[in-house]
Each structure stands twice: as C-alpha cells, then as structure tokens.
Amino acid sequence: MDDKTLMEIAEKARKIAYAPYSEFKVGCALLAKSGKVYTGINIENASYSPTNCAERTAFFKAVSEGEHEFDAIAICGGKGKKADEVCAPCGVCRQVMAEFCKGDFLIILGNTDKTYRHTLSELLPLSFSLNRE
C-alpha cells in the first residue's frame, strides 16, 4: 500500500477522533505485515490523564487481535478540518512502537496533500527495546 493511500485512511479515521477538551484531533492508520490496516483515533477524558493517543489506540487494537508485526503507520492531526502539515507521535507512543517494531518501521507524517517519511530509529534513537537491531 502506498503512503498516500495509508494517509487517506488516517485522515478518514481522524474525523471521528474524540477530542472535546483539546479539540486537537488525531487519526492514524497502522499497516500490519498481514496486510490488515488498523485505524486509531485519540480518545480524551474529562479527567485528562486517561486520554489515549491515536497511535496507541491503533497498536492496542491490532495487538489485541493477535498482530505483532507491522510495516508502517500514517499519522495526521490538528485542530482544523484539514490536518496540520505534520503531527509527530508523542514519546510514549514512540516507546509503544518500539515494543513491536524494528528501527526500520516506517512512520508517515503529513496529510493527504503531502507526506513525509521517517523511521522509528530516527524518531526514537537508542530506544530501550527487545527488538533493537
């Protein structure tokens, strides 16, 4: 699947992000090696700290269905109707990625107008992980 197609799925998912407090809506699409795509959205909470980021929502959905191997994730976010130019994953989500993905895991940022490619090892160098290469 190409980067733009995965980002289109992320942007579609973003529409139903539950972000009544920050109004910053995030959507993502996680491509498993099986070929299945798992979407994720941020899910906020009135007491704030239980908030779950879009990326962790997608990983937890996938892992809870038995997936342990992943190729790529497309992430988009922002306050507007259209996603910002770039919404980088938070540190906690990067650590969750490191639990299941090697350094070459592809992280696609941007929006459907333009996408940017990064790898997990670029965004989380020297990570604490059993999967380190």
Return the active site residues.
55
User: Which CB sits closer to ligand THU, 19 or 101?
Assistant: 19
Contact (Cβ atoms closer than 8 angstroms) between residue 75 and residue 54: yes
- Provide the angle, in degrees to the nearest 10, between the axes of the packed helices 54-63 and 91-100: 20
- Check residue 53 for interaction with ligand THU (CB under 6 A): yes
Burial 81-116 (b: 16+ CB within 10 A, else e): eebeebbebeeebbebbbebbbbebbbbbbbbeebe
CA distance 74 to 55: 9
User: Which CB sits closer to ligand THU, 22 or 68?
Assistant: 22
Angle at 39 between CA 67 and CA 101, to 5 degrees: 40
- Check residue 55 for interaction with ligand THU (CB under 6 A): yes
User: Which CB sits closer to ligand THU, 49 or 66?
Assistant: 49
Binding window for ligand THU (CB under 6 A); candidates: 30-38, 78-86, 89-97, 115-123: 89-97
CA distance 42 to 71: 21
The CB-of-91 to ligand THU minimum distance in angstroms stands at 9
Contacting ligand THU (CB under 6 A), which of 7, 9, 13, 26?
26
- Check residue 90 for interaction with ligand THU (CB under 6 A): yes
Q: Which of residues 3-22 bind ligand THU (CB under 6 A)?
A: 19, 22
Q: SS3 for 118?
A: strand
Chain contacts with ligand THU (rule: CB under 6 A):
19, 22, 24, 26, 42, 44, 51, 53-55, 89-90, 93
